[in-house]
Chains A and B, each alone.
Chain A
Amino acid sequence: MTAVESAGGAVPNELGPIETDVVIVGAGPCGLFAVFELGLLDLKCHVVDILGKPGGQCSELYPEKPIYDVPALPIVTGQELTDRLLEQIKPFNPVFHFGERIDGLAREPDGRFLMTTDAGKSFLAKVVVIAAGGGSFTPKRPPLDGIEAYEGGSVFYSVRRMDDLRGKDVLIVGGGDSALDWTLNLQPLAKSLTLLHRRDDFRGAPHSVNEMRRLVGDGKVRLMIGQMTGLDGDAGVLKTVTVKTASGEEKISVDAMLPFFGLTMKLGPIADWGINLHENLIPVDTEKFETSETGIFAIGDINTYPGKLKLILSGFHEAALMAQAAQKIVYPDKKVVFQYTTSSSSLQKKLGVK
């Protein structure tokens, strides 16, 4: 599996590296909220993400899927959460670098970190915050001949807008929660919906399995047990998918195919930055969420410590504590006064409260 290609457009900086207080690796919810907590303490951030947009997994994999455990938001979709975070961090003017991956990281003699991206950009920062979630991830691509030609037009690894699939013959392939959830969500608006899985046994939540079976019983979803063997179409437009079942091969009409064969999560170049790792996670302390390297912090799903829970809310907490430690590195002589946004005039000024 290759990493997501750089979106391009980035100009190698001829005037030397971009100098900043903090470089945040990853623009998922934790990386975004880190901008807020660091911003309150006057630390300037640049955020780099391999994806082409902010939100990480929230916006890439389940932008329309509800999240129920973000405090004070009984229900929020991945995209809404991302949009709200972007609004919240706006006063701090973070600079985003999308479609780029940081490949190299080395400590300079003055203690700062020099980082280079795959697009040839470089940064010089006093603090590095790794908020890279599961690493640089890509959905697994079924190894069917010519599938690349249909990607984006007829083959989708995530659903950006459900409405795009309205009135279409949709084929969903897989047996986990993603396949089941999208079967349930898309059935009402698709012209036809076929769910294809290699065995009549599903890994998904029992409730979703039951709901899917009910739709199959009602004749609203066709369940096929088998595997794809070929794709046919024209100029990037998929027409039929060949499915091998116990009773032989069948060609079915398909406008849109959604394969859910999981993701390959790769830590990627982070593994070469000289940080201690444990099973592809970054061990940190629970006071500062600092890695084995002073000045390099790790927050969110990518870190590990006793009792770690991979929850967005845990990542937010980690960001707040990390920011206090980061401030001491960037402003070693500054007296830290803990303040509340509710009452502090200085914090409100930073937030642009009128």
Chain B
Amino acid sequence: MVKITFIQPDGTTQTVSAEEGLTVMEAAKMADVPGIDAECGGACACATCHVYVDAGWREKTGAPSDMEEDMLDFAFDVREESRLCCQIKVTTALDGLVLRVPAKQF
């Protein structure tokens, strides 16, 4: 299992065990991580699983695809480290990954 830590805007942290091959969004939903709405269910058709990738992990998670960039237009307070976590696959290389949940999804 791969450990992924979510940091809420108020600073609280939650570390979840994620199965390889799932998406980070699916792992977050299974563990009921607050603030990961994922309205479209992982189709990259909304922008409600928006996260900020913590410094040091951005190379390993990679850059968003064109489709994900387009969808990020519909997110709020998008930053360079923004990703839609339904588009990040859980791999052993991501063990220890730290993600920040934005203050708002919309």
Contact = CB atoms under 8 A, between A and B. Distances in A.
B54 interface: no
Nearest to B39: A264
A261 B106 contact: yes
B74 interface: yes
Interface string B82-105: 000000000000000000000010
Given A142-B76, A227-B77, A203 B106 contact: no
A291 to B, nearest CB: 22
A152 interface: no
Contact of B76 (A143, A176, A199, A201): A143
Contacts of A176: 73
Most central of B69, B74, B78, B104 by chain A CB within 10 Å: B74
Interface in A178-223: 197-199, 201, 203
A98 to B, nearest CB: 27
A198 B74 contact: no
A264 B46 contact: yes
Contact of B74 (A199, A201, A227, A261): A261
A153 interface: no
7 contacts: A198-B73, A199-B69, A201-B69, A227-B77, A229-B77, A264-B39, A264-B46
Interface of B: 39, 46, 69-70, 72-74, 76-78, 104, 106
A127 to B, nearest CB: 32
Contacts of B74: 140, 261-262
Main DSSP-derived SS at the A contact region: loop
Nearest to B105: A143
Contacts of A300: none
* Best-buried of B46, B70, B78, B106 by chain A (most CB within 10 Å): B106
Nearest to B72: A198
Contacts of A168: none
A174 B73 contact: yes
Contact of A198 (B46, B78, B104): B78
A289 to B, nearest CB: 26
A141 interface: yes
Contacts of A175: 73
Given A143-B76, A199-B73, A264-B39, 20 more contacts: A140-B74, A142-B76, A143-B104, A143-B106, A174-B73, A175-B73, A198-B72, A198-B73, A198-B78, A199-B69, A201-B69, A203-B70, A203-B73, A227-B76, A227-B78, A229-B77, A261-B73, A261-B74, A261-B106, A264-B46
Contacts of A203: 70, 73
- 4 smallest beta-carbon distances between A and B, as pairs: A143-B104, A143-B106, A262-B74, A261-B74
B76 A197 contact: no
B12 to A, nearest CB: 20
Contacts of B78: 198, 227
B67 to A, nearest CB: 10
